[in-house]
A and B are shown apart, each in its own frame.
Chain A
């Protein structure tokens, strides 16, 4: 892959990031009303309001506020959280590993489940097996992740599946405080299998809820691409050679069907990341999504701003990774 491509793609992310920063600024400061109204209680006096305005630099002109805002962002200064009285950047970075691990587990589940569905659908092409896969994908996709999350909780409660935790990230009886926040990886590396098992068990349901819509999309796109690949000449060649259908679908066609799937699922992966906001809240999972809802409820303006920006950066990063992996996978681009 050419370095110029990578460099150009990286440079293109800069104006997008800038646009994101502008929109967050406009949303929180210019659009109706007063951010101070989000901060104060009903009993605040005029003097309190004036003091707060000064404290947050809101007594300056909008243009000047914008300059200060950009300066702070460029320096990595997201301000201080009002509800937690801590540096926003620190708070966000402390919770970020939780969400990243959850998303990666969800991604693995989605790719595994979706891939299996796609292969099954392609294997039984034109038979009831394919229709069943299509129907299942359509049904899964119609229900958003947060409703899946609630359905899982209902399922656990109704069928009294006490072994499956529906809140938190690790059991209270497990004494394991990781140094990094990446509890799954860390507990595994330190061979603390009890902690690993506990975190994994707590992660299964939220990850599955996040994964289902993506799995359905993977299943659809991959199946279509495999079916398309199956009409190519080299497949005929493989048949002539006498390879089994399982091998043709699973090896020859799959390899060529991967490129379009990676591109499409990568874009959809951003929706999965966005879904953590509610799914983490529903499962009391301590990541940045959960934190975001609390920040909104507490009207914690600096924290909201920091979290929205963090999510936007995650989205842009995922899109960047997708483009790069697309270039790596596609031979035409690799040599271009």
Chain B
């Protein structure tokens, strides 16, 4: 069956890929949830019923709409400062997705560059980079990210840099292995025979062949970045606590969990839904997109 799919894919590369993607339930479902959150993030000012940072001390701890004591206009209730939970969740999606895309891109760029070099050049370059990866993996990622952000100062740029600095190894290891495999292929040998330079071969010949793998890794890394951002904002190292982040909302909710358990459950559900969607999308893409992994 895999061979049949490969044959159709060969006959019409783009059409076959698109069909395979749409036939994969994980891609469709994960993609749909991702699009849902992305739309909420993009159009947050239009959708959010209230200002996410506006406080109303007369409307503290309003429970969600399905409770008896709910207030009209506050679907998911309000928090300890009377801020609208739904609006904060919507704006929180902005932070989560922005960090996810930016951090995954940064980690991907760094890791892919080093992975390509290590895999293609081999020799001492490979030794140095591989050793570096090994040492890097000896650090507890969560602690390292917290320390990094503490050193660089809080803020989104620190969060993004911290994730990239820690997670480049994920891209590096996989890209290195794949580059080594690609290097053995005939098309690389032909490129060498024709007299193409090393960098040109890497950039024009090998990179395009590693691309499907990169898309999968990027999607999975987005899921990790969402979690790390939630962790950092949970320990109050992401954005100022006034601005809504899912992690910050969870942290607030933990403080008032006895009075208002819904404060914590909704942002947790958002993180889980987005992470599950990104994982499903990544796994689905892996099955549908990448011939190497499909084998």
Q: Which residues of A contact B (CB under 8 A)?
A: 15-16, 19-20, 23, 27-28, 31-33, 35, 38, 139, 142-144, 146-147, 150-151, 153-154, 157-158, 270, 273-275, 277-278, 281-282, 289, 292-293, 296-297, 299, 304, 307-308, 311-312, 315-316, 319
Asked if residues A277 and B146 are in contact (CB atoms below 8 Å), the reply is yes
Contact call B235/A293, Cβ cutoff below 8 A: yes
Residues of B near A308 (CB, < 8 A) are: 139-140, 143-144, 147
Say whether B140 contacts A315, CB under 8 Å: yes
Contact of A311 among B140, B152, B236 (CB under 8 A): B140
Chain B interface mostly: helix
Kindly state whether residue B91 has any CB partner on chain A within 8 Å: no
* Pairs of residues from A and B, 5 with the lowest C-beta to C-beta distance, nearest first: A274-B140, A19-B135, A311-B140, A296-B150, A315-B138
B226-237 interface code vs A (CB 8 A; 1 in, 0 out): 010011001111
The residue that B152 contacts in the complex, of A31, A143, A153, with Cβ under 8 A, is A31
Query: With A and B bound together, what is the CA distance between A38 and B146 in angstroms?
Result: 14
Contacts A142-B279, A315-B139 aside, 12 further interface pairs with beta carbons under 8 A come to: A23-B136, A32-B152, A142-B272, A143-B272, A143-B276, A150-B250, A154-B265, A293-B235, A297-B236, A304-B147, A308-B147, A312-B139
Contacts of B132 on A, CB cut-off 8 Å? Answer: 19
Given the contacts A23-B139, A33-B152, A296-B146, A146 and B231 also touching, CB distance less than 8 Å: yes
Bound state CA distance, A157 and B142, in angstroms?
27
Chain A contact surface mostly: helix
Q: Chain B: residues with CB nearer than 8 A to chain A?
A: 131-132, 134-144, 146-148, 150-153, 227, 230-231, 234-237, 250, 254, 257-258, 261, 264-265, 268, 271-272, 275-276, 279
Q: Which residues of A contact B237 (CB under 8 A)?
A: 296
Q: Which residues of A contact B234 (CB under 8 A)?
A: 146, 278
Specify which of A144, A146, A154, A274 is in contact with B257 (CB 8 Å cutoff).
A154
20 contacts between A and B (CB under 8 A): A16-B134, A16-B138, A19-B135, A142-B272, A142-B276, A143-B275, A144-B275, A147-B268, A150-B250, A153-B257, A154-B257, A154-B264, A157-B261, A158-B261, A282-B254, A292-B143, A296-B235, A297-B236, A312-B138, A316-B138
What residue in chain B is nearest A316 (Cβ atoms)? B138
Distance in angstroms between the alpha carbons of A241 and B166 in the assembled complex:
53
Q: How far, in whole Å, are A271 and B160 apart by their CA atoms in the complex?
A: 21
Q: Looking at the assembled complex, report how far the CB atom of A265 sits from the nearest CB atom of chain B, in whole angstroms.
A: 16
Give min CB distance, B165 to chain A, whole Å: 9
Q: Is the CB of A33 within 8 A of B153?
A: yes
